[in-house]
Amino acid sequence: MTQLKVKADNSISLSKLQSINKNQKCVVVRCAPEVLLLSPPDRFPLSAQLSVKLTARNGQRVGARRRGRRVFLCWFGSTPEICVGDVGLAKRVLSDRTGLFPKNVTSPVLLKLLGNGLVLANGDEWQRHKKVVHPAFNTDKLKTMTATMAGCARSMVARWEEGGVASHGGRAVIELSGQFEEVTADVISHTAFGSSYAEGKQVFMALRELQFITFSTLLSVQIPGSRYFPTKKNLRVWMLDKKVRSTLMEIINNRLAAKEKAGGYGDDLLGLMLEASAPAPPEHGESRAPLLSMGEIIDECKTFFFAGQETTSHLLTWTMFLLSTHPEWQEKLRQEAVRECGCGGGDRLPTYDMLCKLKLMNLFLLETLRLYSPVPLIRRRTRAPVEMGGFTAPAGAILTLPIATMHRDEEVWGTDAGVFDPTRFDGAAGRRGGKKAALLSFSLGPRACIGQSFAMVETKAAVAAILRRFRLALSPEYVHAPTDVITLRPKHGLPMIVTSVHT
């Protein structure tokens, strides 16, 4: 039974935690197959079941399973952290509603990347942002967005047919990860901001570069005040941030200029935020302050431009990888997509209700999220001393929840935890293994990803569009090297042999 209890006394000070001899490091035991959080090798075998087990220099093995514990000290670069590898305890941390475990911002560059929006805000500030943003992703809005998602996916597969497959006898090698980055960027641009990938391209390119810079700073020792030095890296960060903000302001100003003609700000995410920023008309002789400032709107735009595109594109990438390595499931999903959404031809786009009927595809995506979660870990900070699993964490300690590790936990998912099997999520099958409640890819509790339904519908629309027209097989050029750069991506891309189903 996991324990989580707030302590009245600070039995371990944060300064003492940071002064522990680094020679006694603890590191993640039973790391997820193929997933390496620091410097990955150039390739892994496709069937690799990598279990990283490191020891302290004195020869004593340390880790989550030592003395039956899964809560232990580890180091991320030069930062001491407490790894919480117990699924039950992690769920309690994520489900907390008292504010005991706020989000942790370890790098100032992370704010440049994501902005202090819904993902990183805490307390009353987070509540205020959520009140504005949440209505943009309700079910009714998703139903209206589905046509845009399906239309973007259809345009992508049409380009594949016209630009490569048709001219090469119905068969061509296409690098899919880059294709998915563009189509998901186009979807979030259209549905949330009323623009397009072409208009927001500079934002996406700048955010991608900021992403790699951010990850590099997470592993380095930060000298106090060094973020203000005009170093080469800082100058680049400032330039990229300026480019992102200026492009976003241009999109916002275009919407403001069209307000009178359109009769309002619009009912998408950007429109809701602009409505919240506008001074409210006086009511009963009293005026209300706007819910969001213009600076906060820009931060939220950065949050959703990045989070709305990055995670979904990688989910699509790993879904295609697993479809190509499991052809029997590829055929099952193709038959289901044709049955529920029709064949690939014609002008008819799948509706929200059609996509909801893709039960096998839903199981497949859940298993993809389990094995290749786009976000491999979650970090939180303790606001007060807390006892968990027999270990007392001091106030201000950083908690690392290794999703990739917990998604392979045999005690939760069964002895076949390392095996790809979508039926484990089929409640009707009576499986003894893990359930959907143990899936942490979108987090859970009050801070669960607000766009998870959006991501699942978008992914289903894209996968259905692809499978109705093409068969997929891994190219011999593919090198299997998943790497974590805040999100989990294939280091060398995903070249795929794409063959028309009509060939």
* Binding site listing: 449
Asked whether 482 and 492 are in contact (CB, 8 A), the reply is no
Contact 287, 280 (CB under 8 A): yes
Residues 13 and 298: their CA atoms lie apart, in Å, by 38
Q: How many CA atoms lie within 13 A of 131 on its CB side?
A: 12
For residue 255, the SS3 value is helix
CA 137 vs CA 145, 426, 453: distances in Å: 9, 26, 8
Phi, psi at residue 38, to the nearest 5°? -115, -100
Which one-letter amino acid corresponds to residue 347? D
How far apart, in Å, do the first and last CA atoms of the chain sit?
57
Bridge partners (DSSP) of residue 80 are: 75
Q: How many angstroms separate the CA atoms of 441 and 376, rounded? A: 8
Region class of 502: left (phi > 0), else alpha (psi between -120 and 50), else beta: alpha
- What token pair was written down for 79? 């930062």
DSSP β-ladder status, 391-393 and 482-485: unpaired
* Tokens coding 418: 């390392």
Q: Which two tokens stand for residue 44?
A: 């892994």
CB 40 within 8 A of CB 491: yes
DSSP string, 360-410: HHHHHHHHHHHHS-SS-EEEEE-SS-EEETTEEEPTTPEEEEEHHHHTT-H
Check if the beta carbon of residue 410 is closer than 8 Å to that of residue 343.
Answer: no
Residue set of the binding site for heme: 449
- Contacts for 123 with CB less than 8 Å, ≥ 6 apart: 99, 102
3-state secondary structure of 21: coil
State how far the Cα of 503 lies from the Cα of 286, in Å rounded to an integer: 69
Amino acid residing at 156: M
Q: Beta strand pairing status for 398-402 and 377-381?
A: antiparallel
Specify the long-range contacts of residues 61-64, CB closer than 8 Å, at least 24 apart. 62/24, 62/25, 62/26, 62/27, 63/26, 63/27, 63/28, 63/29, 63/30, 64/28, 64/29, 64/30, 64/405
